[in-house]
């Protein structure tokens, strides 16, 4: 039996942070506790990936399709649209599309425990997919544009 290998693709995100870390003041029975909340733009970006990605599930697949213009997508535009939407919600700017071949040139192996929302993976069949959500249980949800079904699809893997 052949074992699937997961490769992470380093995604270079050209972003300009506009948000600073926030602090919450929590009041509990007559005393105030100052707690630092990690809400840096990079953390917010990863947190917004699932809700943005879910908007593209079942979108028609067309090579060169641009979701905002044609209502269809391919993998490059799918990933770009998710990154740009999450960056915008996090107060960042995702400047431009990175073609799939450039993304694949930067791939390297990582441990499954290190996978985060927004990471791209390449499976042994050369399919590139985005991990759009990692559950606390370790379940990973993927999204990718598939010519097979003609729509962007999602799948779930438990590791």
pLDDT digits (tens, 9 = 90+) for 69-120: 999 998 889 999 999 999 999 999 988 887 777 777 777 888 888 999 999 8
Q: Residue 37: which pLDDT band, with cuts at 50, 70 and 90?
A: low
Report the alpha-carbon distance of residue 123 to residue 129 in Å, rounded: 8
Report the alpha-carbon distance of residue 38 to residue 33 in Å, rounded: 16
Average pLDDT in the 41-64 region? 93
Residue 3 has pLDDT above 70, yes or no: no
Higher local confidence (pLDDT), 87 or 36: 87
Contacts of residue 157, defined as CB under 8 A and 6 or more positions apart, other chains included, come to 139, 140, 142
Its pTM surpasses 0.85:
no
Higher local confidence (pLDDT), 80 or 18: 80
pLDDT of residue 100: 73
Give the tokens for residue 97. 């599309």
| Burial (CB count <10 Å: 0-12, 13-18, 19+), residue 153 | middle
Contacts of residue 101, defined as CB under 8 A and 6 or more positions apart, other chains included, come to none
Q: Residue 5: which pLDDT band, with cuts at 50, 70 and 90?
A: very low
Q: Supply the mean pLDDT for the chain.
A: 74
- Within a 10 A sphere around the Cβ of 6, how many other Cβ atoms? 19
Residue tagged 């438990």 (tokens): 158
Residue 147 in 3-state DSSP? coil
């Amino acid at each position: 039996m052949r074992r699937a290998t997961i490769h992470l693709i380093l995604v270079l995100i050209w972003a300009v942070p506009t948000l600073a870390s926030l602090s919450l003041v929590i009041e509990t029975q007559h005393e105030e506790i100052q707690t630092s909340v990690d809400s840096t733009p990079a953390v917010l970006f990863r947190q917004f990936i699932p809700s943005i990605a879910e908007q593209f599930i079942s979108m028609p697949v067309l090579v060169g399709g641009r979701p905002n213009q044609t209502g269809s997508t391919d993998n490059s535009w799918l990933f770009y649209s998710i990154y740009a939407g999450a960056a915008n919600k996090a107060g960042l700017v995702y400047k431009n599309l990175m073609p799939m071949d450039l993304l694949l040139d930067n791939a390297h192996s990582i441990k499954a425990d290190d996978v985060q929302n927004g990471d791209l993976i390449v499976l042994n069949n050369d399919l590139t997919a985005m991990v759009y959500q990692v559950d606390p249980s370790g379940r990973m949800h993927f999204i990718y544009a598939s010519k097979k079904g003609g729509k962007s699809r999602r799948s779930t893997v438990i590791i």
